[in-house]
């Protein structure tokens, strides 16, 4: 995901998540693959402890991992929940996500987050970095959404040359577990809210390409940026159409 303005609002609390909203069911193209039935690419040895049927691996030091690209089956897998947030394997993936995000940001001059399947680990972990703040979100879930939506020209490290216009909720509440095993809640608005929706979609095998909105919703990044300033990536919030 690309860099965003400071218009995001983030509030992290330990409060009890609110009841889910049906407004979360944003449209997905009917031809999107069935994430739960698509076979995955092999799980790397250094991540297998996190898979239910796997044996503990011989640990490797943290490293920059290859970011899986559009067409790799692992991007269409509905990821497994992490059973032990405080395990060495969980920490390894968090470290690899951090290092891989830093390398990708340097290469592409963009980016705020990575999801575990993008580096070959089909488990529910997301790493987010906004300015100097960082979050490792384990088993994140959207528990509530606000009443407004907004249009976003979305991007992704798994198809870095493309932009797709999508509709996202302008405000969300997300519950997750941190690396210490503590339950957390985050309320976010604007760019941070759409980022969290994008990353949690990854954990369910859904890509931004599956959520196109409006006429002519796809563009090559280089062409779009010739015609539009960065602030036009985000439209104004509007009441959700029922």
pTM strictly above 0.85 = no
- Give the pLDDT confidence score for residue 35 in this predicted structure: 44
Distances (CA, A) of 55 to 43, 59, 145: 12, 12, 38
Sequence spans of domains, the chain: 9-237
Q: Is the dihedral of CA 73, 108, 197, 89 positive or negative?
A: positive
| Model pLDDT for residues 196-211, shown as the tens digit of each residue | 999 999 999 999 999 9
Q: So which residues are the catalytic ones?
A: 199
| Model pLDDT for residues 154-179, shown as the tens digit of each residue | 999 999 999 999 999 999 999 999 99
| Model pLDDT for residues 18-74, shown as the tens digit of each residue | 433 334 455 444 444 444 444 445 556 566 555 544 444 444 555 899 999 999 999
Q: Please state the φ and ψ torsions of residue 75, each to the nearest 5 degrees.
A: -70, -10
- Is residue 155 within 8 A of residue 2, CB to CB? The reply is yes
Pairing type for strands 171-177 and 183-189 reads: antiparallel
Per CATH, the homologous superfamily of domain 9-237 is: Peptide deformylase (3.90.45.10)
Q: Say whether pLDDT at 231 is over 90.
A: yes
**Owner of token pair 């990575």:** 114
The band of 132, judged by pLDDT with boundaries at 50, 70 and 90, is confident
């Amino acid at each position: 995901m690309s860099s965003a303005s400071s218009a995001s609002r983030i509030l992290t609390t330990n409060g009890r998540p609110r009841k889910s909203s049906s407004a979360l069911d944003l449209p997905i193209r009917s031809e999107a693959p069935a994430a739960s039935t698509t076979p995955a690419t092999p799980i790397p040895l250094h991540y297998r402890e996190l898979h239910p049927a796997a044996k503990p691996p011989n640990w490797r030091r943290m490293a920059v991992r290859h970011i899986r690209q559009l067409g790799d089956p692992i991007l269409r897998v509905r990821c497994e929940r992490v059973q032990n947030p405080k395990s060495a394997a969980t920490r390894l993936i968090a470290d690899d996500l951090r290092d891989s995000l830093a390398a990708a940001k340097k290469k592409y001059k963009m980016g705020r987050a990575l999801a575990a399947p993008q580096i070959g680990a089909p488990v529910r972990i997301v790493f987010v970095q906004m300015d100097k703040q960082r979050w490792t979100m384990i088993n994140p879930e959207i528990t509530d959404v606000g009443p407004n939506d907004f249009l976003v020209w979305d991007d992704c490290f798994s198809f870095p040359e493309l932009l797709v216009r999508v509709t996202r909720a302008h405000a969300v509440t997300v519950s997750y577990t941190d690396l210490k095993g503590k339950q957390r809640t985050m309320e976010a608005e604007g760019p941070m809210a759409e980022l969290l929706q994008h990353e949690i979609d990854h954990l369910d095998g859904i890509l931004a390409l599956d959520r196109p909105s409006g006429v002519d919703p796809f563009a090559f990044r280089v062409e779009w940026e010739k015609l539009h300033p960065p602030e036009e990536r985000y439209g104004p919030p509007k009441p959700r159409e029922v």
